[in-house]
Amino acid sequence: MNGVRMRQVAAVFRLEWRRTTLSKRAWWIYLLAAAPVLIALMHWVTMRGARLSHSVGEDSVIYAGLFLFLFLRGTIFFGCVGMFSGLFRGEMLEKTLHYALLTPVRREILVAGKYLAALAASLALFVPSAALTYLMLGRHFGPAWTDYLMNGPGLSQLGYYALVAALACVGYGAVFLLCGLLFRNPMIAAAVVWVWENLNPFLPSFLKKISIIFYLRSLCPVDVPAPPPFSIMAIETNPAPAWLAVAGLLAMAALLLVYAAVDARRAEIDYGE
C-alpha cells in the first residue's frame, strides 16, 4: 500500500474514530465495558475482610466462567454488534453514506479505515475491561493474590485473557461489519450468529470449528465445562492448538474483510429502501 492510500486510510480512521467514540448512541457500549469491572469491584469490596470460604484458584475458575459467559457471549459480542454493524448501515440510516462514497477514495480503503477505527475503539474498551476485572476479582486475598500473580500462573492467565479479548474484537468485528453491508437489518443476522455461537458446545466436532467461539475457547487458560443439565448434552472436542486458533481467527477476519471490500465496491445506495 503506497503513501497516498495509507494517508487515506488514516483520514478515514480519524473520522470514524470520532464518530465511533464520541457518538451519543455509544453510551450503552461504554456501560457494557464497565459492567464487569463494577461486578469485580463489588466482589472485592464485599469480600475484603470477610472470612473466606474459597481459594485463589477457585476465584480464577470463577473468572474463567465470567469471561466465557459475560465477556465473550455478552459484553464483547454485543459491543462489537453495536460498533461494527453500524459502520455502513448506520450511515445509510442517517443518509450520510453518500458523502463518503463521493470522495476520491477507493471503497476498500473506506472499509479498511472504518474497520480499523472500530477495532481500535473496541480494543481500547474491552481488553482493559477484561484485564481490570481479572486483577480486581481476587484482590480481596491481599498478598496471596499478589503472589498468585507474580509467582504463580496469574500473569500468564491474564495475558491469555487479554489476547482472547483482542481476537474476539478482531473476529466478531469482521463478521458484523460484513453483516452491516449485506443485510438491511443486521440485528437479525447478529441474533443468528449469537444463537450459533451459544450452540457450539452441543454441536458435532466438525460443526464446532465453523465458529469463532471454538477458537477463542481453545485459547482460554482455564476450561469451563458446561453446567448440568447441559453437561450431558455437550459433545467433547479437543481444543485447537494455540497457533492454529490465532492464525485461523486472523485469516477468517482477513477473508471476511476482503469480501466486504468487494461487496462495498459494487454496493449502490438507495435511501428509499
| More confident site: 131 or 17 | 131
Strands (E), 5-144: none
Residue located via cell numbers 503506497: 2
Q: What is the mean pLDDT of the chain?
A: 85
CA distance 186 to 92: 12
- Cell triple for 13: 480512521
- Whether the CA torsion 118, 128, 42, 154 is positive or negative: it is positive
Amino acid at 220: C
Q: What is the Cα 164 distance to its own chain's centre? A: 8
Structure confidence at residue 61 as a pLDDT band (50, 70, 90):
confident
As a whole number of angstroms, the distance between CA 175 and CA 213 comes to: 13
Q: What is the pTM of this model?
A: 0.91
pLDDT tens, position by position, 154-174: 899 999 999 999 999 999 999
The 10s digit of each residue's pLDDT in 203-236 is 888 888 889 999 999 999 988 776 666 666 677 7
Proportion of the chain above pLDDT 70, given as a percent: 86
Can you tell me the distance from the alpha carbon of 57 to that of 87, in angstroms, rounded to the nearest whole number?
Answer: 41
Instruction: Yes or no: say if 189 and 130 are a contact pair by the CB < 8 Å rule.
Output: no
Average pLDDT over residues 21-38: 86
Q: How far is residue 136 from each of residues 48, 59, 74, 139, measured CA to CA in Å?
A: 11, 11, 20, 5
Q: Could you identify the residue written with the cell 453437561?
A: 231
Domain ranges of the chain: 3-22+55-266
User: Nearest 5°: CA angle at 185, between 184 and 187?
Assistant: 155
Would you state the pLDDT for residue 1?
Answer: 56
pLDDT tops 70 at residue 130:
yes
Rg of the Cα atoms in the chain: 20
Q: Can you give the pLDDT at residue 206?
A: 84
Closest listed residue to residue 65, CA positions, set 202, 222, 197, 211: 222
User: Does the pLDDT value for residue 273 go beyond 70?
Assistant: no
d(CA 126, CA 36): 10
Type of residue found at 156: S
When pLDDT is averaged across residues 131-147 and rounded to a whole number, the result is 87
Count of Cβ atoms closer than 10 Å to residue 90 Cβ: 20
Q: Which three cell numbers stand for residue 248?
A: 485461523
Give the model's confidence band at 94: pLDDT under 50 very low, under 70 low, under 90 confident, else very high: low
pLDDT for the residue 145:
86
